[in-house]
Structures are given as C-alpha cells and as structure tokens.
A and B are shown apart, each in its own frame.
Chain A
Amino acid sequence: MILTVTLNPAIDKILIVDTFEVHKLHRLQSGEMSMVSAGGKGVNIAQLLAKLNHEVIASGFAGGHSGHMLCDAIREQGITTNFIFTQGATRTNISILDRKNETLTEINDFGQEISEEDMRFFIENFERLLSRVQVIVIAGSLPRGVSPEIYIELIQKARKKGKKVIIHTSPKHMDILLEAQPFLINPDMRSDHTLFGQTVDGVDQFLEAGEDILRKCPESQFVIFTHRLENVVAVTRSMGYVMRPKDMNIVNMLGYGDAYLGGFIHALEQGYSVKNTLQYASAAGLTDVEDIHKEILDVSKIDSNLYRIEIDEIKL
C-alpha cells in the first residue's frame, strides 16, 4: 500500500488551443480541447500508481465543492481518499497549451490557508495511516499557513516506523530536508535552479550536488534531478546515473515529474535493481511527455519505451 500526501491539491483545468493570445476572446474550435481533472503532484502520482495496480491512499487537504469534485475524481480511479476538509475551497490551476507556437502558460492559484488545528488533525491521521503503508510520497507545494518544518515532522514519524519517504518539493526547502533525511529527494527545479544559494545545472554539477546532499543525509538513499529531461541525473550512495531518452518527441510537459516518480515507485515496489528502477522511471516520464494528456493513458507504453532510455553509470 502506498500513501500520497498532497497538502495543496488542485483541480487542473487544461486548455489545448491552436494559438493562444492575450487580450482576445477564445472560443474553442473543434479539434481544440478542454480537460478538467484532479491534480496536484501527489494526486497525479497516486493516479499512475493505481493504473499500475497498486493499492493507494491519497491524503492531504481539500475543501468546498471543488474539494468534493477532487475526491470523487480520485476515487473513480479506485484510489482510497483520506483528505481533511477545511474552510475554503480546493484551488483550480489553469494550463493553456498553444500547439502552434508550442508554448505552455500556467496559472497556479494559492489554495486554501491551513490552520494549525487542521494541521494537527492531519498529522494525527497521517500517523495512524503509517502502519498500513510501505511507501509515502510527499509531493507538491505547501499551502499558506503551513511552515516547511512540517516536512521534518512527517518524514521523521514515517522513518521511525521504518517507512520509505519520497519527497518532491522546492529546492529552497533543502536545509529542512537535510534534517528530515527522506529516502529519496527529488528537488523541483523547474523554475528555481538554485541549491543552497548557488545555481546548479548540468550533469557534473548535479552529480556533485547529489553527492554533497547524501554526505549530509546519512539516512537518505537517492537524490534525483529530473527537470532536464534529456539528462536526468540520479545519485545513490555508491553510484551516479545519467538517463538519456532517445529521439524524444515532446508534446506536453505537464505531469512529467509525477509520471517519473510514479514509475520509480512502481519499479521499486516490484523489486527491480537500481538501474532498472531508474530506467523504468525515465521511460514513464518519456511516455508522459509524448502524449497530449497530462497523465499516461496506456501504461503498457512504458514497457515498450524502456529500450529508448540510455543509462551511463558513474562510479563515485
């Protein structure tokens, strides 16, 4: 059983238009698309894992009519929901994909503000769920009113019970993560390329930064930089790995990181070797970006894309 934690989930509204212009009324034409789905990183990961036949509990905060919509959509995928409902409403994130100009415009709302009391109730609930699950994924942004120290509390509670925690969050919280020491750290560096105040980019710097983080986190096992699709870098205690997808044809970047982590967890749960796990994760990411939809519709395509992932192994 896998638990996903999405503290700030969303309803994703995705519009796919031929040309997007500001200051203009757009009426969707045939061939263009409008899609509404449950979203937020942890939720997206839960949906892929459910498609890969895992038992999943999706947790976090929700609220209002949109919160009920979110939970209904998640349950439709066969996932168990355990969201704490609070005052305020689950946010809506809007993405506009312009096919002709190949641009992606995203507007992410703030989301609900979470009170300390609701957070306490969430933590009580989280602790109870730990005995039922093996892997916990904490992914996505923090809602207003919640301090990043919450990561330390959640991760340490899970670690005490011997559970693996996989975290995907902004690199600005890296100091906190060094203290919390999750099993896997996947910094979300799509819009923030700095780690500990320094710009980090390129394979060599990723390998160095990963080694540095693992040195400081004796309990952590993986640091993975996924945002450069052409060179995904993973660092373990003894090895560095660079994954390169061949002949990638990017159609829609939305959901790429979530597909990667969902693929990683699936392979980990299947008991694959480290190399095969990383290969499967990258194949899931590749399968996601080559389809117009945010999520992977046909999971068998991941297996057929495995051969397209080249892996360089580097002894550290």
Chain B
Amino acid sequence: MKKVCDYIHKDISCVNEKSSLRRVINTMKLHRLSALPVVNMLGEYVGCISEQDILNAAVPTYMKSMLDTSFMAGLDQITIHLHRKLDENVVQFVDVNYPSVSPDDSMSYAADLLYRLKGTILPVVDGKTLIGLLTRIEILSVSLDPTI
C-alpha cells in the first residue's frame, strides 16, 4: 500500500492565525502555492486558506446576492474591497473544517479526499503538528511509480 509518508512534500511553509491577509497573499505568491496551511501559536494545524477563500471574501456582500444573475463583479470592485481588508487578521478567512491526512494514511485515501474536496493541497499532520503537504502532483506521481 502506498502511504502518504512515501510521497510527502516536506515543506512546512504556513501562516499563523495572527498573520494578515497581506502576508497570506504574499506567501502564496512567493511560495507558488494556491493554498496554505494555517497553524496556531503552538504550531498546531487549525485549517487552510486558499486563493478561492480569499476571492470569496473579496466579493462585497451586496454583490454575492447578484452572483446568480447575469451580473458580473468588476475587477475594481473586488480589488478595492480586498485592498481594504489587507491588514485584517487571516483567521476570519480560514476554512477550519479543511481536512488533513496523517503520514500513515494510504495514498488512495488522500487521493479520494483531495478529489472530493476539489482542493489543491492536503496538509500532512502528525498528531497536531504540521509535517508537510500533499499537492495534486504528489497524487499524480504515484502513477509514475514503475512498481505499480
């Protein structure tokens, strides 16, 4: 059985609950990640924040009710709204129900979870401690293994 620990991407880049939205966007951009794990001050995993979470928060509330119609949010309306939120604490945008996997989980379980989530990363957590990530490419890499 292929295990998460055999394919883990051992990078523990993350943001903490006190980080600002500015820090999160900058970290995503510079680390080339579309989602980031969030940890508390003890280093325990608390959830994830994705580009999509930020975009959702960027659309002003009054516009959300119009999304079902043919109304399209203008880029200015989104960016100006987001710009005002840049120094706000990230905790309000974090998906605290975002699941994680443990190093002993099977890659089949991780693949199924990531597919259902339609997410881009899966944090790997040992106990409560973040020890790395799985991204979609790690899941796809299993297929490259010649022993399959």
Binding site for B on A (CB under 8 A): 57, 63, 68, 71, 75, 78-83, 85-87, 121, 124-125, 128-129, 131-132
Contact = CB atoms under 8 A, between A and B. Distances in A.
A71 B33 CA distance: 14
B129 interface: yes
Given A124-B16, A128-B39, A86 B30 contact: yes
A80 B11 contact: yes
Interface string B51-67: 00000000000000000
Nearest to B10: A80
Contacts of B84: none
Nearest to A128: B43
15 contacts: A63-B30, A75-B9, A75-B10, A78-B10, A80-B10, A80-B11, A81-B11, A81-B12, A82-B11, A83-B13, A85-B27, A121-B19, A124-B16, A124-B18, A128-B43
A132 B129 CA distance: 9
Contacts of B41: 128
A305 B16 CA distance: 46
A134 to B, nearest CB: 15
Contacts of B27: 85
The interface residues of chain B, by DSSP majority, are classed as mixed
A128 B13 contact: no
A8 to B, nearest CB: 17
A121 B30 contact: no
B32 interface: yes
Interface string B22-41: 01000100111000000101
Interface of B: 9-13, 16, 18-19, 23, 27, 30-32, 39, 41-43, 129, 131-132
Contacts of A128: 16, 39, 41-43
A91 B11 CA distance: 21
Nearest to A57: B12
B93 to A, nearest CB: 18
A83 B12 CA distance: 9
Contacts of B19: 121
A131 B43 contact: yes
Nearest to B19: A121
A71 B11 contact: yes
Most buried by B among A71, A86, A121, A131: A121
Given A78-B10, A85-B31, A132 B23 contact: no
B43 A132 contact: yes
Contacts of B42: 128, 131
A131 B31 CA distance: 24
A80 B43 contact: no
Contacts of B43: 128-129, 131-132
Nearest to B129: A132
B135 to A, nearest CB: 13
